[in-house]
Structure formats: structure tokens, C-alpha cells
Amino acid sequence: MRIKSLMIKDPITISEDASVKDALDLMNTHSIRHLPVVNHEKKFIGFVTLTDLKQAFIPSMVTDLSLKDIMVKDPILLSPDVNIETAARIIYKHKIGGIPVVENNKLVGIITITDILEAFVSMMGILTTSSRVDVALGSKADAFKEVSHIIQDSGGQIISVGMAPHRRDENIYYFRLKPCEVQPIADSLKKSGYQVIATEG
């Protein structure tokens, strides 16, 4: 999935000549936390966050501190054709809440951590009614394929699969299924030598 299908298109922007107070007022009015800065030709030149503005507000009242002084002039940028996994890794790695999306030096959108989370929640089917089977696959080479077949042969329809990020030594996978009776699936897995960690539904 490309971020162009998830990003906030034509986001609210602010002029490079605006004051810190102007930027804060604009953010408060629209309940946003990230604000792209554009020049007179509407080209992207920088990025400010709510945290940046709050820290600069008092100094800007007693000095000549302006938006140009506090904006990030060389922020991380993404192309609209970047996939969602890459965007998620960048946001996680740099501990940032949003990234401007730019094409040919023109701002075309913003992708935020909230947009990415909503996409993953949708992809994983977390908010839909479902059943779940958590299985320790062990070190067997074809374990994932075999477990998937056992689940399907036992009446389960797989919606999504996740892996425990901090328990890779145990190789635990979470199989989210369309609503079904999970006990026969768990019994079949156990008979085939797999450890069922938990079930739901």
C-alpha cells in the first residue's frame, strides 16, 4: 500500500513570513500538530511541530524570533509512492509524529503516525469481529505453511497473521481468523505437535 492513498492531501500550510503566534493559532483552530511552511510560490521550505512552537512562543514575544528561525529546514521527506511499511519504519526509527510528502519540490500531503496506525489496524482486521489462535511454530522449516494448512483444513479462514516482535526465539505467530469455533483448530494443531499459546473466539 502506497502512502498516497493514506496521507492527508492538500494539508493546511503557513507562510514563511508568519509569526510563531500565527502558527500556534492555526494549529489550535484546526486541531493539528504538524504544520508545513511554504514560500510565496507555495513550494515546501520547512516544517514545524506543536512542540517547537510552544517552546518558542515566549522567546518570540520578547525577541525577533520568527517562524523561519525555528522551523526544521531540512526535515525527513517522503515521496507519495513510498509504501506504508517504509514510512512506519522511518517514523518509528526517528521517533517523529508526521512526515511531509513532497513531489517535485511541491508539498502534496502529510503522513502521520495516526494515519499509519489506522491503516495497520484495518489491514490486521483488529476492529472487526474475529477469532484468534496463537501458535508457537518452533524451528521446523515448513512450520508456517503447515500450520496455515491445518487451520484452513480445520475450518479456519485466515484474515491476517502477526508475529510477536519480542519473542522471536519462540517463533510465536498470531493467526486472526474470521469468526469460528477455534477449539477444533487448536486440537488439530496440538495433534500435529504444535504448541497453542492462546485462543480467542
* CATH number of the domain that residue 113 is part of: 3.10.580.10
Does 153 score more than 70 pLDDT? yes
Last residue of a domain, one of 81, 104, 120: 120
pLDDT band at residue 188 using 50, 70 and 90 as cut-offs: very high
Q: Which domain holds residue 62?
A: 3-120
One domain for residues 113 and 156: no
One domain for residues 135 and 49: no
Does 32 score more than 70 pLDDT? yes
One domain for residues 79 and 56: yes
Rounded mean pLDDT of 39-47? Answer: 87
Dihedral angle computed from the Cα positions of residues 64, 98, 166 and 1, in that order, rounded to the nearest 10 degrees: -160
One domain for residues 68 and 87: yes
Burial of residue 51, with CB atoms counted within 10 A of its CB: 0-12 exposed, 13-18 middle, 19 or more buried:
exposed
One domain for residues 14 and 86: yes
* CATH number of the domain that residue 152 is part of: 3.30.70.260
Q: Which of 91-95, 120-124, 152-156, 194-198 has the lowest mean pLDDT?
A: 120-124
One domain for residues 97 and 132: no
Residue with cell 510465536: 172
One domain for residues 193 and 107: no
One domain for residues 7 and 83: yes
Rounded mean pLDDT of 130-141? Answer: 88
One domain for residues 19 and 105: yes
One domain for residues 66 and 101: yes
One domain for residues 116 and 192: no
Last residue of a domain, one of 69, 88, 120: 120
* Inter-residue contact 198 to 134 (CB < 8 Å): yes
One domain for residues 44 and 110: yes
| Percent of the chain residues topping a pLDDT of 90 | 53
CA distance 175 to 13: 42
Last residue of a domain, one of 79, 99, 120: 120
Does 89 score more than 60 pLDDT? yes
- The total number of structural domains that make up the chain: 2
pLDDT band at residue 86 using 50, 70 and 90 as cut-offs: very high
pLDDT digits (tens, 9 = 90+) for 2-14: 999 989 998 999 9
